[in-house]
Structure 1
Amino acid sequence: MVKGAAYLLLALLIVGAILWQWLSERTRDRVVLDRRLEAIATPDAVTTRPIIAVTVPERIAPLLAQAQVELTISTLQMLTGAMLIATLIVLLLFGPAAAVVLVVGVPMAALSWLQGRARKRIDALAEALPLYLDGVRQLQAVGNSLSQALSRALADAPDSVRSYFAPVGRRLAMGAPVAETMQQLADRLQVPEISMIAAAIRTNLRYGGSIATVFGNLANILRERVRIRRDLQAATSEAKVSARVLIAMPLLAMALLVGMNRAYIEFFIDDPRGRTMSMVAIGLEVVGIVIIRRMLRLAF
């Protein structure tokens, strides 16, 4: 059963790689046609090689935007090819069970890395936003418009803010509406702090009032959110350590048993009952990790 599942996963990977290659060729043909049409329309324009981005599902797109990771066709083709080759090698050397673990484990590890990267960058952005709002408020106090203040405050803003707000500055420099530009950033990132800024700007432009006062109050709210988040991290640090110990205990126990008696592992590799038990144990371990991570995930 496990062997059949491994070969089925390998076949799906091969079919997916072929389908992806076909779709990428069609996309590349459209891009080449667009470049030719653009060259005909603007003969003096400098043509550059475009970076073809990949359309990702709506549930993954905000996570990629938060982690500041952009998937291109060439990158995804390289990752798919490496995954296909690695799965084939593991299947031939270590058997179908190891291939199934590789096919399931690598995407989960990649998702975990992506979530950790996004969490670190968004936390840094949340800590730096009050300083950026103070800069916008000060520039408005000396006579700058809201659009000018948002753009010029980026020069003195921390790197975490500039990396996320650079598209906002470019759109505002080209004359884009402030409310729509900020709302686009909020929709792309889906971060509460950015959504609060976009809502404040949209409400102020519709109903009027002092946007400097709104930004001052919003900066205080964001500082309070950062303080509460740090308090929550300190309060849950003991539970996180306990969760890591619980996750690592079965793995350490298995490693100790194998170190003391190497024949112990042969039952889980050679015997069909042992392979079934090992797959069930790995599945339960993965389910336990997911449950513990969700229990420790706090949002406010």
Structure 2
Amino acid sequence: MVKGAAYLLLALLILGVMAYGWFSERAGGRVALDRRLEAISSPGTAPVRSINAVTVPERIAPLLAQAQVELTVQALQTIIGAGLVLALVLLLLTGPAVALVLLVGLPMAALSWLQARARKRVEALTDALPLYLDGVRQLQSIGNSLSQALERALADAPDSIKSYFGQTARKLAMGAPVAETMQQLADRLQIPEVSMLAAAIRTNLRYGGSISTVFGNLANILRERVRIRRELNAATSEAKVSSRVLIGMPLLCMVMLVAMNRAYIDFFISDPRGRTMSLVAVVLEVLGIVVIRRMMRLAF
């Protein structure tokens, strides 16, 4: 029964991957056609380049932007192809259960890596953002416009700021509206600090006032947020270590039992009851990891 269910889930996963690839290709073709028609209907616009990006769900797109990972069609096809080949090899050598664990575990591992990369880069951005705002204020105080100050302050900004704001600065240099350009960056990244900056610029340009004062207050608010985040990380560090220990203990115990008695693992491979228990243990371990990660996810 377990073997049949594993085969069924494996087939459904393969069909789902094929269907997603087909729908993504059709969506990309429609977007390319719409842009070509828009270019034809608007003479004088720049020619449309070939679209090579992958259409991703709305919940994944901000995460990719925060992690600064560009997922192309070729890269996605290579990853999926390698995963399916490896799953097929495991299916032939060890059975459907291991292949199913691989197909489920690899996306989860990739998502975990993507979240860790995004969190690290966003923290570097938020740490450097107050210093960047101070540079913008100084440039404005000597006569630069807002768009010029936002662009020229990148010269002395850390690399974390340049990597996120570089494309926006190029748009501003070509004459793009400041409020709309910053709002597009905020919508793409969905980082609270960047959204606060975009909202401050949009509000000031609409209702007037001293933008230098707004940037000064915003820089102080962002510094306070950084301080609170560091205190929160320090206060929850013990709980994070405990969660890692709880997650790693079952895996470590399994490795130690196998090292002490290699015949112990035969029951979980050859016997149907052992395979059922192994599958249940893996599912419970994954659910435990998900629950602990959700409990430790703190936002302010």
- Please say whether Structure 1 and Structure 2 have the same fold, judged by a TM-score greater than 0.5: yes
C-alpha deviations, 1:9-40, integer Å up to 9, x for none? Answer: 443454455556656776579869988x989x
SS at match of 2:176: coil
Q: Which residue number in structure 1 is paired with residue 288 of structure 2?
A: 288
For residues 232 and 132 of structure 2, the distance between their equivalents in structure 1, rounded to whole angstroms, comes to 24
Residues 1:197 and 2:207 are matched in the alignment = no
Worse overlay, 12-21 or 115-124: 12-21
1:40-119 alignment to 2 at 5 Å? 50=50, 52-119=52-119
**In percent, how many aligned pairs have the same letter?**
74
TM-score when normalising by structure 2: 0.90
Residues 1:132 and 2:123 are matched in the alignment = no
1:193-272 alignment to 2 at 5 Å? 193-272=193-272
For residues 242 and 181 of structure 1, the distance between their equivalents in structure 2, rounded to whole angstroms, comes to 44
Residue 48 to residue 206, structure 1, CA distance change in 2 (3 Å): closer
Residues 1:173 and 2:179 are matched in the alignment = no
Q: Which residue number in structure 1 is paired with residue 8 of structure 2?
A: 8
1:4 Cα deviation from its structure 2 partner: 2.4
For residues 267 and 259 of structure 1, the distance between their equivalents in structure 2, rounded to whole angstroms, comes to 15
For residues 276 and 286 of structure 1, the distance between their equivalents in structure 2, rounded to whole angstroms, comes to 16
SS at match of 2:59: coil
Indicate conservation of the 8 Å contact 1:2/1:96, yes or no. no
SS at match of 1:218: helix
1:131 Cα deviation from its structure 2 partner: 0.8
Q: What is the number of equivalent residue pairs in this alignment?
A: 297
1:51 Cα deviation from its structure 2 partner: 5.4
Residue 159 to residue 234, structure 1, CA distance change in 2 (3 Å): same
Name the aligned partner's letter for residue 75 of structure 1.
Answer: A
Residue 22 to residue 176, structure 1, CA distance change in 2 (3 Å): same
C-alpha deviations, 1:175-215, integer Å up to 9, x for none? Answer: 21111111111111110100110111111111111000110
Name the aligned partner's letter for residue 83 of structure 2.
Answer: M
1:63 Cα deviation from its structure 2 partner: 0.4
Residues 1:149 and 2:168 are matched in the alignment = no
1:173 Cα deviation from its structure 2 partner: 1.6
C-alpha deviations, 1:18-72, integer Å up to 9, x for none? Answer: 556656776579869988x989x99xx9x99745001110011110000001111
Residue 69 to residue 173, structure 1, CA distance change in 2 (3 Å): same
Structure 1: runs of 5+ lacking an equivalent: none
Structure 2: runs of 5+ lacking an equivalent: none
RMSD of aligned Cα (Å)? 2.6
